[in-house]
Amino acid sequence: MRARFQRQRQRGRPFADSALDLAPGVKVYPLSMERDGLLIGEVARRSGASRKALRIYETAGILPPSRRTLSGYRLYTAESLAVLSFLTQARRLGFTLGEIKRIVAIRRQGRSACAHVREF
């Protein structure tokens, strides 16, 4: 095996056709490491909010708590992205974080927040 590796290396193909090659689409890591969500940078880029703002909104309870990967990275759902999009628009319109928190809580209960938004 070592002689084969050395011959391939001399040809400029260190691992071509060797036993170390993986088939296309094969993953080396276990399924438990795959993620089904958005990382904080992806959510920040799509929503226009900063990463720091995301952490603040999560701490304040405006965003639902994020799940974590095995390595500790935050994973956000599509629902979090929708809430964040609403939040950034509401901030641009002049709503305070307290008002936004109340509106989001009303929506989580399944009720319409239209009357409360008009109040503000």
Tell me what pLDDT residue 32 has: 46
Task: Give residue limits of the domains in the chain.
Answer: 34-119
Q: What is the 3-state secondary structure (H, E, C) of the chain?
A: CHHHHHHHHHCCCCCCCCCCCCCCCCCCCCHHHCCCCEEHHHHHHHHCCCHHHHHHHHHHCCCCCCEECCCCCEEECHHHHHHHHHHHHHHHCCCCHHHHHHHHHHHHCCCCCHHHHHHC
| Average pLDDT for runs of 10 along the chain of length 120 | 59 53 62 69 88 89 86 87 84 85 80 67
Tell me what pLDDT residue 33 has: 45
**Which CATH fold would you assign to the domain 34-119?**
Multidrug-efflux Transporter Regulator; Chain: A; Domain 2 (1.10.1660)
